Amino acid sequence: MRWKRATDYAGGARPTVADGTVYSDCHHGLVALDAVSGEQRWERPFGDPTWSTPAVVDGTVYMRSNGWYLRAVDAATGEERWKQETGAAEESSAAVADGTVYIGSDDQSLWALDAATGEERGRLRTGGEVHATPVVADRTVYVASEDDFLYAIHT
C-alpha cells in the first residue's frame, strides 16, 4: 500500500486522478492530494455535502455540491472560479467537452454550461429525472433519463 487517507463518508470518496493529483470529495468539499505520497496539496470547503465524482479538464475541476450547485475550481490552487445552480441531482457528475460542461438534473434536464464562466448554454428537457452522468464522444452527448430512454444529442 502506498498510502491511505480517512474520509468522512461511510460509502467512501469518489476520486479522480489527473496530472499526478488525486481530486476527491471530502469533508463537505474538495481535496487535492499528491497521487504518489498522499500529501494534501489543498482543500476547498463548500459548506455543503458533495456526492459527485470530480471531472478535471484544462486545469479546472468541476464538481457538484449539495445536489444543487455545479462548481468550477482551479486544479492547481483550489480557488473557486464559479458556482452555478443546476437543479437538484445527487448522482450525476459532470462531463466536459469543447468548452461545455454537461450535467444531469432532477428537474428532468440535461444542462449545458459554459466551462469558463458557468453561464447556461442550454437545457435538454427529458421525460424524467437525469441521475446519470453524461458521456461525450464524437460531438455527441449521451445520457439516460428516469423516463427509461437513452438520449444522444449532437453538439
> How far is residue 44's CA from residue 154's CA, in Å, rounded to a whole number?
34
Per residue in 110-142, pLDDT tens? 999 999 999 999 999 999 999 899 999 999 999
pTM score of the predicted model: 0.92
How many Å from the N-terminal Cα to the C-terminal Cα in the chain? 43
Helix (H, G, I), strand (E, B) or coil at 108: coil
Cell of 37: 505520497
Determine the Cα–Cα distance for residues 78 and 63; give it in Å rounded to an integer.
Answer: 12
> What domains are defined for the chain?
16-154 (2.130.10.10)
How many residues belong to the chain? 155
DSSP string, 49-101: -B-S--EEETTEEEEEETTTEEEEEETTT--EEEEEE----SS---EEETTEE
The model's confidence at residue 143, banded by pLDDT at 50, 70 and 90, is: very high
- 56-99 pLDDT tens trace: 999 999 998 876 889 999 999 999 999 999 887 667 899 999 99
Beta carbons of 55 and 94 less than 8 angstroms apart: yes
3-class secondary-structure state, position 103: strand
Distance between CA 117 and CA 129 in Å, rounded? 25
